[in-house]
Amino acid sequence: MRAFHWDRCFVTGLHKVDEQHHHLVDLINGLGDAVLLGELGVTRLCEQLFVELTAYAQYHFSEEERLMAQVRLDPRHFERHRQSHRYFSEQLSSMWASRNAVASPLAVLHEFLAAWLSFHILGEDQAMARQLARIQAGVSAAEAFDLEEVPREGATAALLGALSSLYRVLSQQNRDLADTNRLLEQRVAERTEALERANRLLERASRTDGLLGIANRMSFDEALDREWRRAAREGTPLALLMMDVDHFKRYNDKYGHPGGDECLRAVARTVEAALRRPGDQLARYGGEELVGMLPNTDLERARVVALAIQEAIVRLGLRHPDSPVSDRVTLSIGVAAVIPEHGSAPSVLVAAADRALYAAKAAGRNRVVA
C-alpha cells in the first residue's frame, strides 16, 4: 500500500538528507504493504519493520543534528529541531508499547508515520534547508532563522499547517491511548496481585486446621509422602508421634466445647514448641488427636522427644479434675520409626504409630510407647 508518494515538494536539495528521506519513505510504504497482510502478519513482520524503522530514524536524526552543528545553524532552530526528533522517538516507542490495546496496530502506526514524515520533511527539514542556503549565501544564522519565522501565505503554508495539526492530533491521541493502556495495565497488575494473594491465603487456609492453626490432615498426608520418598532415597529414618489428649470427652463435658477448644489450642502450641527442628511438623490428625513427623530421626531419639512433650504438657498445668489418670491434662503418645524401603508406602509407619498409641492407652494412658 504505497500511501506515501515522493515528489519534488519533498526535495530539500541536501543530497544525503534526501537519500535518507527516500529510505524512510520506503520503510513506511513497506509498513503499508504489511497492513494488507492482515492480522496474521502483525506480530513478526510488524516487529521487524518497527526495529528497522526505529534504528534508521535514529541514524537520520543524528546525521541531521551533525549537519546543523557543522554549519552552526541558529540555536533556536537547532534546539527546536532536536526536541522534535526526541518527541517523535518517544511517540513511536509509546505507540509500539500500546499496540496490544489497538484494534489495527499496523494501520494506526502507518497513518501516524505518514503524517509525521510529511510534516518532518515539508516543515522542519525544508526550513533547515532554506536556512542553510541563506547561511551559505552570507546571511547570519540568526537572520536566517528570523526570516524563516516570518508567516507565509498560500496553499503550501495552509497544507503545512494542516499536516502539523494532523500530526499533533495523532500524537495526542497516541499519548491518551498510552496513558489509558498504562492505567489499565496497572489496574490489571493490581488485581492480579490481589488475586494471587487471595489464592495464597486460600491455599494456606485449605492446608491449615481452622481451630488449632497447625497443619491439617491433608497437609500432613502430603508432607508425609514427600518425606517418606526422601528418606527412602537417602536411607534415613523417619519417625511419627501419635498423640491423644487423655479422657478429652470428660474435659469437654465439664468445661464445654469452648473450654475444650481452648485446651486443644494450648496443647497444640505446647507440642509445636517442643518440636524445635525446622523439618519437624505437627498436624491435627482428627478430633483431639495430633501427629508429629520427625524426619531423619530414629526410634530412640523420637522417644526422647515424646517424653519431652509429655513433660511440657505437665508444666502447662491445665486442670482436668474428671480425669482418672491425673488432675491435669495429660497425653498418651505412640512412637514409631522406620527407614523406608523403595516401593513401600508410608501407611505402614502410620499404622505402627497408631498401634503404639493404642498400646499406650491400653496400658493406662499418660505414657509413651515406642
On whether the CB atoms of residues 244 and 361 are closer than 8 A, the answer is yes
pLDDT at position 152: 61
Cβ neighbours around 222 below 10 Å, total: 12
Q: Which residue has the cell 541531521?
A: 64
- CA distances 51 to 35, 86, 93, 96, Å, are 16, 17, 10, 10
* Mean pLDDT (the chain, rounded): 84
Higher-confidence position of 288 and 156: 288
What pLDDT does residue 51 have? 83
User: Three cell numbers at 139?
Assistant: 546571511
Torsions phi, psi for 367 (to 5 deg) = -155, 165
Domain ranges, ordered by start, for the chain: 8-192, 217-369
Of 273, 369, 368, 367, the C-alpha closest to 312 is 273
| Predicted pLDDT of residue 163 | 57
What percent of the chain stands above pLDDT 90?
Answer: 47
More confident residue, 138 or 1: 138
The DSSP annotation for 74-116 comes to -HHHHHHHHHHHHHHHHHHHHHHHTGGGSSSHHHHHHHHHHHH
Q: Residue 96: what pLDDT? A: 74
Query: Could you tell me which residue, 192 or 340, shows the higher pLDDT?
Result: 340
pLDDT of residue 11: 85
Q: Which three cell numbers stand for residue 188?
A: 490489571
- Check whether 39 has a pLDDT greater than 70: no
- Average pLDDT over every residue of 201-209: 72
Instruction: Check residue 107 and give left, alpha or beta (phi > 0: left; psi -120 to 50: alpha).
Output: alpha
Q: Is 105 a residue whose pLDDT tops 80?
A: no
More confident residue, 98 or 54: 54
Looking at this protein, which amino acid is placed at residue 317? G
Structure confidence by residue, pLDDT tens digits, 110-141? 777 777 777 777 778 888 998 999 999 999 99
CA distance to 12, 26, 289, per residue, from 22 (Å): 11, 6, 83
Report which of 306, 294, 299 is spatially closest to residue 368, judged by C-alpha positions: 306
CA 283-289-294 angle, to 5 degrees, is 45
123 or 283, higher pLDDT: 283
CATH class of the domain whose range is 8-192 = mainly alpha
Residue 258: how many other CB atoms lie within 10 Å: 9
For 23, the grid coordinates are 529510505
pLDDT digit string, tens, across residues 137-174: 999 999 989 888 877 655 455 555 555 565 566 566 66
Q: Sheet with 331-338: list strands edge to edge.
A: 281-286, 289-295, 238-245, 331-338, 368-369
Mean pLDDT, residues 50-64 taken together? 87
| Identity of the amino acid at 218 | M
Average pLDDT over residues 9-24: 86
Between 79 and 116, the higher pLDDT residue: 79
Q: Which residues contact 252 (CB under 8 A, 6 or more apart)?
A: 259, 260
Mean pLDDT of 362-368: 96
- Confidence at residue 350, expressed as pLDDT on a 0 to 100 scale: 96
Q: Are 360 and 346 in contact (CB under 8 A)?
A: no
- Residue 206 pLDDT > 50: yes
According to the model, what pLDDT value does residue 37 have?
62
Q: Which of 20-29, 203-212, 219-228, 303-312 has the lowest mean pLDDT?
A: 203-212
Which superfamily is assigned to 217-369 in CATH? Reverse transcriptase/Diguanylate cyclase domain (3.30.70.270)
Q: Which amino acid is at 333?
A: I
Q: What's residue 174's pLDDT?
A: 63
208 DSSP 8-state letter: B
Cα atoms found within 13 Å of the Cα of residue 355, Cβ hemisphere only: 8
Task: Say if residue 66's pLDDT is above 70.
Answer: yes
- For residue 212, give the 3-state DSSP assignment: coil
Give residue 18's Cα distance to chain centre. 46
- What is the C-alpha to C-alpha distance for residues 249 and 194, in angstroms, rounded to an integer? 43
Instruction: Give the residue-averaged pLDDT of 30-46.
Output: 62
Q: What is the DSSP letter of 5?
A: -
Q: In terms of DSSP bridges, do strands 289-295 and 281-286 run parallel, antiparallel, or are they unpaired?
A: antiparallel
Return the number of other C-beta atoms located less than 10 Å from residue 353's C-beta.
28
pLDDT at 97 over 50: yes
